[in-house]
Structure 1
Amino acid sequence: MAEQEDITAEDFGTDAASRARRRGIRERLNASANRKLITGFLATLAGGIFWGFSGTCASYLFENYAVDTAWLMVVRQLCSGALFLVFILATDRARLKQLLTTPRDLALLAVFAASGVFLNQYFYLLAVRAMNAGTATVLQCLQLIIIMVYACLRARRGPRKRELAGVVLALAGTYLLATAGNPSTLVIPPDGLAIGLIAAVGAACMSIIPTGLLARYGSSIVTGMGMLVSGIASSVIIRPWEQVPAFDAMGWGAFAVLVFVGSFLAYFLYMQGVKDIGSMRASLIGTVEPVSATITSALFLGTVFAPTDIAGFALIIAMVFLTV
């Protein structure tokens, strides 16, 4: 801003030196904007990849250890929430104190933790367990249809043509995943399909409910405290300290990756990307999440996907591009 003021106050001369100086300042501003764009792109891309990889880590734990889904969700939330809290206390303590002393915002945070964080993470892990990380992650992308409907109702408008096309693609993709193209069969277990759709509802709530909180407190505080509140509240019922799974070194390593990479870093990097490049670009780049989950599941777990699965994935990812 200071450089822009310098241009206005001093550099509207007509001599060659003034023009050269203005050109140099513009070039520096453009270079800074380009660096921010590249940084935001890379952060968002990494966040989406890490999100997808978290599903693969969960699949590995479910397949190789006696891990309760609720235990994994609660401890994941407590650990990642604690990491966020350490980061917040070091960088943004004042706004955290403001949130904790504002009853109305605390009430909204509790709603977000229950209907967004808990609903999404618990049912996503259940969907991973019932199906696989790739399919669960792609079904979760259907959240954008819910967000689109909400946006239309709030704006009191009908869906645009591209949004309707996105709905058709989403339904076609879900149909292929569920039936493999044969309407007389159901490839995905009915409970798995229902669980995946509930996870999508939770993901939509995570985007819709905290809008005002994000504007006032920032993504790290809202996401981190939402995870911590959900984890603490769930611990009262689930009591995770009574059912710690018998992990070996590989099990604890996979769990650590799930917490640090798939939760803390994924959210932190993605939200940094939203800040740098905007929500629309970030949403588009975030479609790497189901691709990451599918590829890592195939590479590390040997998950086999049929051609109809790949076609269903492609249709749902195309829906994302039409609806954001």
Structure 2
Amino acid sequence: MAEKNQLSERGLERRRRIRRGIVATLVGGTFWGLNGTVSKWLMDTYAIDPLWLVCARELLACWLFLIAAAVTARGREQLSGVWRSPRDLLAILGVSLGAILFSQVAYLEAIDWTNSATATIMQSLGMVLVLGYVCVRMGRRPRRRELLGVALALVGTYLVATGGNPGQLSLPPEGLFWGLACAAAAACLSILPAEPMRRWGNFTVNGLAFLASGLIMSAVYRPWEHMPALDGVAVAVLAACVVVGTFGAYALYLQGVKDAGSMRASLLGTIEPVTATAATALWLGTSFSPADLVGFALIIAMVYLTA
């Protein structure tokens, strides 16, 4: 009887953890959707190079993660302990290059060459890669719910991003390249950080990964040589991009990966194009088309299906 109660408690705890991961993923994806629209506006309005924006966001956001890690006793223990594990430091470097730097550069370059809607639909293709990885690692076939979730997410994202008009997916070669890179980066972001975060925590892994990524990117790109002319509005918007769109979005999304799993988080992350479209409509006064509404419904159905 006691063993049965213990198993029941474990099951309840697991369900609570998954629900927490679902909420974190949805909020993180919402922040990303807003951030994509705002970043596009910054780059167009102030002629900001995407790589300069990557450097600024990473070198500023990394300190928010590290401070967040240092404010708790557990976080301080993780922050000091990780330096005694060369293997885990190497894994975090892999997260820095394969997930953080790759996803930041690919996404901002994609929306610079195309637009935020096209970038998000290309990015959503990473779900197929995540599903393949999970199935190979676990030695199983995709479940029907997962396949249906992928189909709904892809169709919904397509409709929201294009309004059902295939002509809007006509991309320049650079846009196609960076869009496909977005898909690969999204898959890396859903897979690579899971194990390091399990051992060392969300904030420690993110802080060190963002710091390493920002330093590497700065050494290569030299952002001080490409300083844009920013006024007070631009500085305020950039600060919001760092605090909400980078620190908040990555912290919440990767917490969702940790709690809900890579496949579920990747599917739920398609809330991003919904938010991006809504933000664009509110900002520019664009009305929703019937295809948009169908896309919203499909993505919401996917959320319930995978929850």
So what's the TM-score if we normalise by structure 1?
Answer: 0.75
Tell me what 1:164 maps to: 147
1:225 to 201, 208, 213: 208
State the one-letter code of the partner of 2:129: I
**In 2, Cα distance between the equivalents of 1:285 and 1:164?**
14
State the one-letter code of the partner of 1:114: L
**In 2, Cα distance between the equivalents of 1:118 and 1:310?**
34
1:74 to 48, 52, 55: 55
| Deviation of the 1:131 alpha carbon | 2.9
Tell me what 1:14 maps to: none
- Report % sequence identity: 44
Tell me what 1:13 maps to: none
1:255 to 225, 231, 238: 238
Tell me: CA distance 1:145–1:284, structure 2 relative to 1, closer, same or farther (3 Å). closer
The answer on whether the counterparts of 1:141 and 1:200 sit within 8 Å (CA) in structure 2 is yes
Q: Residue 63 of structure 1: SS of its match in structure 2?
A: helix
Bigger Cα Rg: 1
State the one-letter code of the partner of 2:169: V
State the one-letter code of the partner of 1:50: F
1:64-96 deviation digits (Å, cap 9, x = unpaired): 111001110111111101211122233212212
State the one-letter code of the partner of 1:51: W
Tell me what 1:24 maps to: none
State the one-letter code of the partner of 1:236: A
Is 1:50 aligned to 2:35, yes or no? no
The answer on whether the counterparts of 2:194 and 2:257 sit within 8 Å (CA) in structure 1 is no
1:62 to 43, 52, 62: 43
State the one-letter code of the partner of 2:33: G
**In 2, Cα distance between the equivalents of 1:37 and 1:175?**
27
**In 2, Cα distance between the equivalents of 1:323 and 1:117?**
25
| Deviation of the 1:155 alpha carbon | 1.8
State the one-letter code of the partner of 1:141: S
Tell me what 2:101 maps to: 118
The answer on whether the counterparts of 1:148 and 1:323 sit within 8 Å (CA) in structure 2 is no
The answer on whether the counterparts of 1:143 and 1:204 sit within 8 Å (CA) in structure 2 is yes
**In 2, Cα distance between the equivalents of 1:197 and 1:225?**
27
Q: Residue 169 of structure 2: SS of its match in structure 1?
A: coil
The answer on whether the counterparts of 1:99 and 1:217 sit within 8 Å (CA) in structure 2 is yes
Q: How does 1:262-281 map to 2 (within 5 A)?
A: 262-271=245-254, 278-279=260-261
1:187 to 169, 177, 202: 169
Listed as ranges, the gaps of 5+ residues in structure 1 are 9-29
Tell me what 2:92 maps to: 109
1:181-240 deviation digits (Å, cap 9, x = unpaired): 55xx46341443442231121121122122221111011111221111111111001111
Q: How does 1:1-324 map to 2 (within 5 A)?
A: 44-91=25-72, 92-169=75-152, 172=155, 180-181=164-165, 185=167, 187-191=169-173, 192-271=175-254, 278-279=260-261, 286-302=269-285, 307-308=290-291, 311=294
Tell me: CA distance 1:281–1:167, structure 2 relative to 1, closer, same or farther (3 Å). closer
1:259-301 deviation digits (Å, cap 9, x = unpaired): 01111122334455667x7448766764432221111122124
1:156-195 deviation digits (Å, cap 9, x = unpaired): 222223333345446656776579455xx46341443442
State the one-letter code of the partner of 2:218: S
State the one-letter code of the partner of 1:290: P
State the one-letter code of the partner of 2:148: A
| Deviation of the 1:117 alpha carbon | 0.9
Tell me: CA distance 1:281–1:114, structure 2 relative to 1, closer, same or farther (3 Å). closer
Listed as ranges, the gaps of 5+ residues in structure 2 are 7-11
